[in-house]
Amino acid sequence: MFRTIEWLDDTSQVRLVDQTKLPLALEHIITGSHERIAESIKIMEIRGAPAIGAAAGMGIALAAIESKAKTRADLIEYLENAAITLNTRPTAVNLTWATSRMLEVARTTSGNVADIIGKLIEEAKEIAEEDVRMCRSMGENALEFIKPGFTIQTICNAGSLATVHLGTVGAVVRVAHEKYDGNIKVYSAETRPRQQGARLTVFEFMEDDIDTTLITDGMIGTVFREGRVDCCVVGADRILRTGHVINKIGTYTMAIAAKYHKIPFYSVAPTSTIDMTTNPEDVVIEERDPNEIRMINGEYVTVPDAKVYNPAFDMTPPELIDAIITDRGIVKNPTEEKMLKLFSK
């Protein structure tokens, strides 16, 4: 698979895949504006926790170039405002993680404005490269659980398109596919209302010749009862020190059904998705436009003013999770103590 987002050295711009157009068209957005990046994140032209983290990192580098600041103080003030502009989605911690990391680089780099800008561009590119490396490590670590011939249930898109390259769940599937000579299958839940499973996961796995079956979200229990899947592997937008996993709406329901059917349930995420400070009750779950539910492809599928509740994410408690798979290692039957052991630094 191609890279979802890239820094273009020649023009100091960012190029990203427009995910709202997939799978019907593969189009790119090329921009030198941090405000355009913020807009892309908000309207989900780029989405998926690690991908929006990488986009926000590059957004800060673009802001530094755009700023025309003459002094360090002016530059840092401009970047602090850019960070606020870029933080357009509240749930995935990767966004604040990336903007905080970039601001820290700006504050701690010695030299003049040009030196800081140079360092910020390097750091944004490094965030993206790190993401690719972390994905591969997660895929390799997951082999402890994924055996030849397994069928994996997924939700949403945690593939290449949700990261810079490879994906989190995408890496688990791709590394196993590579290792087991293609002997791995996927069931992808459609994932209403934005259909990232149908539009993105099916598209990218089929591009890589991975045997993928699309189901609607309501079919998950039946697929489990019929013994069609061996395990569930889901991504995460935020994992707390308590072991709670915040991920795409429907993940929690899937985890409950998996527990009932004794199907192992794994969440896979990079270090940049781990949030060791926020308490479960303080996590902000993004609520999106009601029309995402009322409409499909621009057409109403219900009464136009139907009352709607549209949380984009849910929270799965640790007792429903068999393991959290990260680039740093695996936390089986997660508890706060075990999370602290792996992530205290």
* Residue 175 makes contact with ligand MRU by CB under 6 A: no
Among residues 40, 247, 272, 326, the one that binds ligand MRU under rule CB under 6 A: 247
CB of 265 to ligand MRU, least distance (A): 14
Nearest residue (CB) to ligand MRU, 14 versus 236: 236
Nearest residue (CB) to ligand MRU, 92 versus 105: 92
Among residues 13, 40, 87, 196, the one that binds ligand MRU under rule CB under 6 A: 196
* Residue 41 makes contact with ligand MRU by CB under 6 A: no
Catalytic residue among 237, 275, 322, 327: 237
* Residue 188 makes contact with ligand MRU by CB under 6 A: no
Nearest residue (CB) to ligand MRU, 60 versus 92: 92
* Residue 117 makes contact with ligand MRU by CB under 6 A: no
Report phi then psi at 242, rounded to 5: -75, -10
3-class state of residue 252 by DSSP: helix
211 burial class (0-12, 13-18, 19+ CB within 10 angstroms)?
Answer: middle
Q: Which two tokens stand for residue 219?
A: 């079919």
Distances (CA, A) of 207 to 10, 19, 131: 29, 15, 21
Instruction: Tell me the number of residues near ligand MRU by CB under 6 A.
Output: 18
Among residues 248, 255, 258, 322, the one that binds ligand MRU under rule CB under 6 A: 248
Q: 217 an active-site residue?
A: no
Residue of 62, 23, 56 lying closest to 40 (CA atoms): 56
Among residues 59, 139, 235, 318, the one that binds ligand MRU under rule CB under 6 A: 235
Distances (CA, A) of 247 to 143, 208, 340: 22, 25, 21
For residue 14, what are the β-bridge partners? 7, 31
* Residue 59 makes contact with ligand MRU by CB under 6 A: no
- Residues 76-115, interacting with ligand MRU (CB under 6 A): 92
Q: Which two tokens stand for residue 285?
A: 């779950």
Report phi then psi at 164, rounded to 5: -80, -40
Q: Which residues of 252-281 are buried (b: 16+ CB within 10 A; e: fewer)?
A: bbbbbbbeebebbbbbbbbbbbbbeebeee
| Angle, in degrees to the nearest 10, between helices 34-42 and 72-86 | 20
Stretch that binds ligand MRU, among 1-9, 173-181, 205-213, 234-242 (CB under 6 A): 234-242
Residue 85, C-beta contacts closer than 8 angstroms, at least 6 positions apart: 34, 35, 38
Stretch that binds ligand MRU, among 3-11, 141-149, 163-171, 219-227 (CB under 6 A): 163-171
Among residues 190, 237, 275, 322, the one that binds ligand MRU under rule CB under 6 A: 237
| Catalytic positions, written as ranges | 237
Residues at the site binding ligand MRU, with contacts judged by CB under 6 A: 47-50, 92, 156, 158, 162-163, 167-168, 196, 235-237, 247-248, 312
